């Protein structure tokens, strides 16, 4: 599994118009990272002026949901 930082830097290089949070979201999407890992890299990668300190928990939670999407395993009637 590639690190978040490596994915982030690759996306940021390929998509320079995107903001830091968008690149980070793309870097973690579907990769199965834990909330703790995402939180650690969020602190390292995100510029301090890009988000309000009070919004950090919600942003990390959103990234964790992107990384580990909920699976709807209900069987639909045909």
Question: pLDDT tens, 7-47?
Answer: 999 999 999 999 999 999 999 999 999 999 999 999 998 88
Give the burial class of 63: count Cβ atoms within 10 A of its Cβ; 0-12 exposed, 13-18 middle, 19 or more buried. Answer: buried
Position 2 pLDDT exceeds 80: no
**pLDDT for position 65:** 94
Q: What is the mean pLDDT of residues 46-71?
A: 90
CB 58 within 8 A of CB 42: no
Q: Which of the two residues, 71 and 38, has the higher pLDDT score? A: 38
**pLDDT for position 49:** 86
Q: Is the pTM of this model over 0.85?
A: no
Contacts for 63 with CB less than 8 Å, ≥ 6 apart: 24, 25, 28, 38, 42
Alpha helices in 15-55 (DSSP H): 20-28, 35-45
């Amino acid at each position: 599994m590639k690190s978040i930082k490596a994915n982030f830097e690759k996306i940021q290089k390929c998509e320079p118009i995107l903001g830091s949070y968008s690149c980070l979201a793309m870097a973690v999407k579907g990769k199965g990272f834990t909330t703790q890992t995402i939180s650690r890299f969020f602190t390292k990668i995100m510029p301090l002026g890009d988000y309000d300190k009070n919004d950090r928990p919600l942003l990390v939670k959103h990234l964790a949901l992107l990384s580990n999407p909920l699976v709807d395993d209900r069987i639909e009637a045909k």
